[in-house]
A = this chain, B = another copy of it.
Amino acid sequence: MNILLVHAHPEARSLNGTLARFMREHLEAAGHTVQVSDLHAMRWKATLDADDFPARDRATPFRPAGDSQQAYASGQQTRDVAAEQAKLLWADTVILQFPIWWFSMPAILKGWVDRVYAYGFAYGVGEHSERRWGDRYGEGTLAGKRAMLVVTAGGWASHYAPRGINGPIDDLLFPIQHGILYYPGFTVLPPFVVYRSDRMDAARLAQVQAELAARLDTLATVAPVPFRPQNAGDYDIPAMTLREPIAPGRTGFGIHQVEGGA
């Protein structure tokens, strides 16, 4: 299949750089076609601003959503943004790979999301009515494609455990997995997380690569994170709250997954 790897580490000789090369080689050896967006090598522009919309009317205030909508609809986006959207449309599976910095993605990758996820492409898609609230959360431009995070963390696994001080890793990744990947339609695969990334010797690297290879070999088959689709009856519209008979009395990120799912 076609696989897009979006890689966001500033040093090719880092653990993340090593894992990016390993993934590309492993996937190509398995017969897949791989494109890599190496954001630092591309010197990706991280900041969304009016410069992203050269055709806009400069007499009016810049509106991030409105100007994005206009540029996307009229084919007047910048070339770098349009190229990344084309890669997303080409891909069957997208892998976002990054070190967790301050409990989220590095700025350069957030800026890839902010800029590539145009209005009309990743949001503002579909109709709003009494029965639908746009094509999002399970529907949308990227529906039918799979996406997966491959991330490193400096802390220990226990620090990200269900009672760990940093917060559970699944909850820390929810804004990305649910809010950035599931929102525009991706089917989200369980993440691959490497802890204590600063304590990596050759033996442990070999083990990490073996585990990562095993995950890559099941990209097409592994059960996804069972997020609940928005427009299939689980949510009240337009309040967009989970209907009361479902997960009664419970709150939090976890209720937006089907219980008993993978």
Q: Which residues of A contact B (CB under 8 A)?
A: 10-11, 13-14, 40, 44, 46-50, 61-65, 99, 101-108, 110-111, 113-114, 117, 137, 154-156, 158-159, 161-168, 171-172, 174-176, 178-180, 198, 230, 235, 238-242, 250-256
Contact, CB under 8 Å: A163 / B251: yes
Contact, CB under 8 Å: A47 / B48: no
Contacts of A102 in B (CB 8 A): 110, 113-114, 117, 175, 179-180
16 sampled A-B residue pairs with Cβ under 8 A = A10-B48, A10-B62, A46-B108, A47-B108, A64-B99, A102-B114, A102-B117, A103-B180, A108-B111, A158-B241, A159-B240, A162-B251, A163-B251, A165-B256, A167-B252, A252-B254
Contact, CB under 8 Å: A167 / B158: no
Whether A240 touches B165, Cβ cut-off 8 Å, given contacts A101-B114, A171-B253, A253-B171, is: yes
Contacts of A155 in B (CB 8 A): 240
Contact, CB under 8 Å: A64 / B165: no
Whether A62 touches B162, Cβ cut-off 8 Å, given contacts A114-B101, A167-B179, is: no
Of B50, B117, B179, B255, the residue contacting A10 (CB under 8 A) is: B50
Q: How many copies does the complex hold?
A: 2
Of B161, B238, B241, the residue contacting A161 (CB under 8 A) is: B241
A137 CB to closest chain B CB (Å) equals 6
